[in-house]
Amino acid sequence: DKGLEKSSQGFFDKISKAVVGKSTVDEDVLDNLEEILIASDVGASTTIKIIERIEQRVARDKFVGTDELDKILREEITGLLLENPHAGSGNIDETKKPYVIMVVGVNGVGKTTTIGKLAHQFKSEGKNVVLGAADTFRAAAVDQLVIWSEIVGVPIVKQNMGSDPASVAFDTVQSAVANKADVVIIDTAGRLHNKINLMNELTKIKKVMQKVIPDAPHEILLVLDGSTGQNAFEQAKHFTAATEVNALAVTKLDGTAKGGVVIGISDQFQIPVKYIGVGEKMTDLQLFNGAEFVDSFFK
C-alpha cells in the first residue's frame, strides 16, 4: 500500500520510542501513548477512549508487557473503526438505480478530485455515471468538474454560474433516470457559511431530487482532508449538524504522517469511512478497509 507509507512510519516510530527502556505498560507509557495519539490527529475523545480501554486491560491482567502494546493497540483501534456498509459487494447499493450520491465538504479538501476518481471507479466497473455540477457559486468548481467529466468520459449536467443548485440537482437526476444511469454524483457548494444557510441549501437540493427519486440521496458523502487535523473535526461537526452525512471520504492520506483523523472522526461521529484518497491521480482512491488501514498504520 504505497499510498499510506507516510502515515504508517510516523506512528510506528513514535510507538517504538514511547516504550524504549520499558518492559511493562505503566502510567508513563500510557502518557506517552496519549501524546502520540493526539499528535497523530486521533482527536481528544477517541484518544481518551483508547487509553481507558488499555488501562482496563492493564488493571485486569495486572501486567501487560510493552511488547504486547502494538497488538493491543491494533485491536482497540480496529474495534473502533466502523464497518464499511458496502464492503465486499461493490461500493454501492445496486438495488437503487440510479444510486444517488450527494457530495459535501469545504473547498480545497479534494471534493472535485474525489468525484472524478469515483466516476472513474464506477465507470471502470461498467456502470453508467452522470455528474451534476450543483456548486454553482464558483465558476472554477464547474470548470474543474467539466474537466474531470472529459478525462473520465462521463456526462455532466450543468447550468450557468449562479443558477439555483437545486435546479441543477433536479436536472441531473431527471437526466439520469431518462438515460437509465446507474450512479449519480452531485457536487455541492463548499462554502462554510453559517449553519442555517448550509442546512437550507442542502435540504432544498435533497427535496428537489426527491421529486424524481423519493429516497434520494442514498449517500451523503462528506469529503475531508486527512492532513488538516483539527480542521477536519470542525468541518465534520459543521456538516453533520447540517445534513445526514452517512459516509466519509478522507483525502490526502499520502501526504501526511497523521492518518489518525480516519480513526477519530469515524469514532466521534459514528460514520463509516468509505473511501480514502492517496494521491492526485484518477486511480488514487481506495475503498476503505479497516483491517488494511490499521495494518498500514502500524507497519
Kindly list the residues in this chain that would bind ligand GDP in the complex (CB under 6 A).
107-113, 144, 190, 251-252, 254-255, 277-280, 284
- Closest to ligand GDP by CB, 34 or 201: 201
Q: Which is nearer to ligand GDP, 34 or 254 (CB)?
A: 254
Q: Is 111 annotated as a binding residue?
A: yes
DSSP string, the chain: -GGGHHHHHHHHHHHHHHTTT-SB--HHHHHHHHHHHHHTT--HHHHHHHHHHHHHHHHHHS--BGGGHHHHHHHHHHHHSPPPTTTTS-SS-TTSSSEEEEEE--TTSSHHHHHHHHHHHHHHTT--EEEEEE--S-HHHHHHHHHHHHHHT--EE---TTS-HHHHHHHHHHHHHHTT-SEEEEEE------HHHHHHHHHHHHHHHHTTSTT--SEEEEEEETT-THHHHHHHHHHHHHS---EEEEE-GGG-S-TTHHHHHHHHHT--EEEEE-SSSTT-EEE--HHHHHHHHH-
- Give 171 or 254: the residue with its C-beta nearer to ligand GDP: 254
**Smallest separation, CB 152 to ligand GDP (Å):** 14
- Residue 131 known to bind ligand: no
**Looking at beta carbons, which residue is closest to ligand GDP?**
277
Residue 285 is assigned to a ligand binding site: no
- Shortest Cβ 57–ligand GDP spacing (Å): 35
Q: Is 133 annotated in some ligand binding site? A: no
CB of 223 to ligand GDP, least distance (A): 6
Nearest to 11 by CA among 74, 81, 92, 79: 74
Among residues 41 and 76, whose Cβ is nearest to ligand GDP?
A: 41
The reply to whether 254 sits in an annotated binding site is yes
**Shortest distance in whole angstroms from residue 103 CB to ligand GDP:** 9
For residue 246, report the phi and psi dihedrals to the nearest 5 degrees: -125, 10
Of 140 and 178, nearer to ligand GDP (C-beta) is: 140
Nearer to ligand GDP, 30 or 118 (CB): 118
Query: Is 110 marked within a binding site?
Result: yes
User: In angstroms, what is the minimal distance from the CB of 18 to ligand GDP?
Assistant: 28
**171 assigned ligand-binding residue:** no
Cβ 284 to ligand GDP shortest distance, Å: 6
Binding-site residues from annotation for GTP: 105-112, 187-191, 251-254
Binding-site residues from annotation: 105-112, 187-191, 251-254
